[in-house]
Structure 1
Amino acid sequence: MSGMMTASSPRRSVGDAARLVKHLITSSPSRFAIVIFAALILLFTGLLSLPISSADGHVTPLSDALFTAVSTICVTGLTTVDMSTYWSPFGQVVIFIGVNIGGLGVLTLASLMGMVISKRLGLSAKLMAAGDTNPLRAHGGPVNESQTVRLGEVGQLLTTVALSALIIEVGLAVLLYPAIVMAGVDPVSALWEAPYFAAMSFTNTGFAPNAGGVLAFNDDYLVLVLLMAGVFLGSIGFPVIYTLAKHTWHFKRWSLHSKLTLVTTVLLFFAGAAVFLLLEYDNPRTFGSMDAADTTVQAFFLSAMTRSGGFNAIDMSDLNGSSMLVACMLMFVGGGSASTAGGIKVTTLAVLAIPVWSEAKGRQSVEAFGRRIPSDVQRVGLSVVAWGATIVAISTVAITQLTKLPVIDVLFDVISAFGTVGLSSGVTEALPDAGSYILAATIFMGRIGTVTLAAAVAATSRSQLYSLPVERPIVG
């Protein structure tokens, strides 16, 4: 009898744990996603702390291991150590795997974990996945069918996430291999560098396996263009990839989210390049020493990388102060929702800019591409910007006070951390342990998403069954 009780106890424990996890998934998907991400960071911190992970065989200090783990899982690219020399082959493989896990996205990863545990994608998990795949559904309350991916398509969407990541990274690696070899890299070394650069570009991370990083290819247009293509595909987001796969040449069938993402992304890409050309054309440390072709390519590359790519073909500290400020703006916006990019997202920028245009045109409602954008979506957009600005402001003040470094340099690295970009003015590597912990927290909050963070803090939403009297304060 006691033997039977002993045998059944582990079974009951496993069952209780499974029920607890399933309850957490269904009752608060956002909190579950944050727990999963935090658990992954702790796991990879432990792996990177092992002596086998460092090139010299010593235990990596906790601050460096934790910061690298956060930057890896959150696909950021900032680092407190030299990535090409500090880590052993084992450590590099751990980072490569971590970046691909993190690139799937926090809510997509949570949905997949929910499928594994519950053996099926239940209604709550479907709603969670639908909310991530369409950022217009990022608040509490009933799900509006017009604002979500149909529940029957969510399973297909999750398949698209995994397949698109695999196909794009393999395709990029195949194209990058001959380009890297032609650039002078040893063919054997290129077998590692090609898939590494492919993964780091698609996940918008920006780590480099070689000494000097992309600076070693700053005059190789083919490599730069392929890296830009990988960053673009990763930054538009899985919902857009899903839409393009279904309705490639049928623009009218594209979702409003896909249209806003692509149009805003392309506009920022060209506008950013034009502004950098204007501000840096006479800077002898950057574009001033280049010919017209080099200047044009470098301007577009810089515009793409400041959106979330993280690779740099010029030293960021050589930019003019005005260019660094523009770079901060682009990094704060970031890429598309449910993508490997960070920031407040291009759709957030679009839904806040469109009302200004509508007001100028005298329209009563906010419209885009023949669709009306409801006011609750605009409120979510304002919340995202407010959360993001607050996080950036607090981190910048704290690190500036701690280090006494120039505020523009600190602001640059803080926004790069929040937007999970990975570009640095040199501040990150010089941070004391306390500063690296603050920046790691900024990366974490930026990656999991301000809306997700808010939803996790306020896990329940209550309906208000009455309306208060209306009174208009003076604005402006």
Structure 2
Amino acid sequence: MTRVWQKLFTTHPARTVVMAFAMVILAGAAVLSLPVSSQDGRATDLVTSLFTSTSAVCVTGLVVVDTGTYWSGFGEGVILALIQVGGFGIMAMASLLALLVSGKLRLRMQLTAQAETKSLGIGDVRRVLLGVAGTTVAVELAIGTALALRFRFGYGESTVDSVYLGFFHAVSAFNNAGFGLHPDSLTRYATDPWVTLPIAAAVILGGLGFPVLLELLRHRRRMRTTGRRGWTLHTKLTLVTTAALLVSGTLFTALLEWGNAATLGPFTWGDKLLESFFYSAMSRTAGFNALDIGAMEASTLLMTCTLMFIGGGSAGTAGGIKVTTFAVLAAAMLAEVRGEPNSTVMSRRLAPHALRQALTVALLGVGLVISATLALLTVIRAPFEDVLFEAVSAFGTVGLSTGITAEFPDSGRLILIMLMFVGRLGPITLVSALALRERTRRYQLPEERPVIG
């Protein structure tokens, strides 16, 4: 039996990731089901507990019960711990999987790191994990302190409540979880840049991915001595695509919702731009909202679905197909339109296997969202755009909702649980599996050109 379990957990890195996160989710659901986790002292049904645990570990933010009013202090602490474990585990394991694929780590090191033990014994693996932990603590401490000060002196909260609110939202934001302690999420702080901007900063930093953050820190020190940047193509793609999506999301949100009396209409032009930027940042990866999403225009919901599907950076806390996947596909399309034989980005030629992997991840994501939307439409009577929005939000582990999450029956909630789980771990494990299975063919088949278009 022991050998069976060892084989199950160590035969493939992707399997290790899936099994580890599944066990954490089940453990979290079991604890949240206990009477001590709810405010009324009653046991929570299994589906609700499983949904909440999955949403926390997969750092999504979709909820079927209000976090601040349903769960007790103990339950909120469990959710916060699941968010932290999910965010740290995802960043650490995804980063180490990337190192394994690039050939810089042996399989034994990778499997040891995936087990998330603290006795790694390997210098490079230890540095990666300590770097993830150090970055996480530093960002969460800085954002949590800023928010706590604002809640204390700007809103008159007690010192204890200010610290709790500040650090809960900081952890939730950096891990891109989107869990809030208010029934209206952050709507009450919609026009307060001292709350929205720090949270947006934490979300963006967490969504860049740890490899990018580590490289930025490393090259900042290098620039002090040499004055040269020397970023890798991955970092450049992530930064440029992230900035482009943030700007385009802000502009489209402002344009589409500027006159909507139920969303941006009542605000001043400055507050409208602030809210548009905040919504653009949240729709990429996090689940906080400061606007009534259910009152938004259908065009805005479609734009948001696009941003949620793309997601954030690789090997980070964000979901979606990832910005680098989107950038690689865009480069391939541009090369085809120009009639060029190779896809190039920033004076670099993209490897053919990278294009195939990007196309595979994107098409599988589309197929999964369409299939899940079709299944959800059979179990709930709701507008199509709302159901599609919910499915994309779950797959992209974003957590935004038009307000219908709690209306789904247990069957619908189980579908959303599957979407959150696959959406968080699917792209990481799929790309790793594809890369590890890559092999060279010693012969070439005859070439044929089917009719396209």
Query: In the alignment, which residue of structure 1 is the partner of 2:219?
Result: 247
Distance 1:251 1:345, change over 3 A: farther
- The partner residue of 1:123 within 106, 122, 135 is 106
> Could you tell me the percent identity over the aligned residues?
40
Q: Is contact 1:277-1:296 (8 Å) kept?
A: yes
1: distance between equivalents of 2:242 and 2:107? Answer: 31
Distance 1:153 1:369, change over 3 A: farther
2:205 maps to 1:228: no
Distance 1:203 1:44, change over 3 A: same
Quote the offset at 1:428 in angstroms. 0.8
Pairs within 5 Å for 1:367-386: 367-386=344-363
Quote the offset at 1:474 in angstroms. 1.5
2:296 maps to 1:319: yes
Quote the offset at 1:108 in angstroms. 2.6
2:155 maps to 1:172: no
One-letter amino acid matched to 1:89: G
Pairs within 5 Å for 1:138-287: 153-184=124-155, 185-248=157-220, 249=223, 252-287=229-264
Query: In the alignment, which residue of structure 2 is the partner of 1:143?
Result: none
Quote the offset at 1:372 in angstroms. 1.4
One-letter amino acid matched to 1:364: P
Query: In the alignment, which residue of structure 2 is the partner of 1:30?
Result: 14
Q: Is contact 1:111-1:128 (8 Å) kept?
A: no
One-letter amino acid matched to 1:370: S
2: distance between equivalents of 1:395 and 1:159? Answer: 38
2: distance between equivalents of 1:445 and 1:107? Answer: 16
2: distance between equivalents of 1:426 and 1:34? Answer: 29
Residues 409-457 of structure 1, C-alpha deviations (whole Å, 9 max, x = no match): 0000110000000100112111111110111101000010235147669
Pairs within 5 Å for 1:401-412: 401-412=378-389
Quote the offset at 1:361 in angstroms. 4.5
Q: Is contact 1:344-1:388 (8 Å) kept?
A: yes
Distance 1:397 1:264, change over 3 A: same
Structure 2: tracts of 5 or more residues without a match: 98-103, 115-121
Distance 1:289 1:251, change over 3 A: farther
2:68 maps to 1:84: yes
Query: In the alignment, which residue of structure 2 is the partner of 1:135?
Result: none
1: distance between equivalents of 2:447 and 2:36? Answer: 65
Quote the offset at 1:167 in angstroms. 1.1
2:424 maps to 1:447: yes
Query: In the alignment, which residue of structure 1 is the partner of 2:272?
Result: 295
1: distance between equivalents of 2:65 and 2:431? Answer: 32
Quote the offset at 1:362 in angstroms. 4.7
Quote the offset at 1:245 in angstroms. 1.1
Root-mean-square deviation over aligned CA pairs:
2.6
Quote the offset at 1:95 in angstroms. 0.5
1: distance between equivalents of 2:43 and 2:185? Answer: 25
Q: Is contact 2:393-2:399 (8 Å) kept?
A: yes
Distance 1:345 1:125, change over 3 A: farther
2:395 maps to 1:423: no
Distance 1:129 1:314, change over 3 A: farther
TM-score, length basis structure 1 = 0.86
2:335 maps to 1:358: yes
1: distance between equivalents of 2:17 and 2:53? Answer: 17
Q: Is contact 2:91-2:210 (8 Å) kept?
A: no
Structure 1: tracts of 5 or more residues without a match: 1-15, 114-120, 132-150
2: distance between equivalents of 1:455 and 1:235? Answer: 20
2: distance between equivalents of 1:215 and 1:270? Answer: 22
One-letter amino acid matched to 1:123: R
1: distance between equivalents of 2:135 and 2:65? Answer: 31
Moved more, 345-354 or 100-109: 100-109
Q: Is contact 2:94-2:316 (8 Å) kept?
A: no
2: distance between equivalents of 1:98 and 1:288? Answer: 37
2: distance between equivalents of 1:188 and 1:426? Answer: 31
2: distance between equivalents of 1:125 and 1:407? Answer: 47
Q: Secondary structure at the match of 1:390?
A: helix
Query: In the alignment, which residue of structure 1 is the partner of 2:58?
Result: 74
Q: Is contact 1:276-1:323 (8 Å) kept?
A: yes
One-letter amino acid matched to 1:161: V
2: distance between equivalents of 1:125 and 1:473? Answer: 44
TM-score, length basis structure 2 = 0.90
2:33 maps to 1:62: no
2: distance between equivalents of 1:79 and 1:207? Answer: 8
Q: Is contact 1:67-1:440 (8 Å) kept?
A: yes
Residues 389-425 of structure 1, C-alpha deviations (whole Å, 9 max, x = no match): 1111111001111112111000001100000001001
Query: In the alignment, which residue of structure 2 is the partner of 1:9?
Result: none
Distance 1:26 1:105, change over 3 A: same
Alignment coverage as a number of residue pairs: 434
1: distance between equivalents of 2:301 and 2:266? Answer: 19
One-letter amino acid matched to 2:106: L
1: distance between equivalents of 2:191 and 2:366? Answer: 36
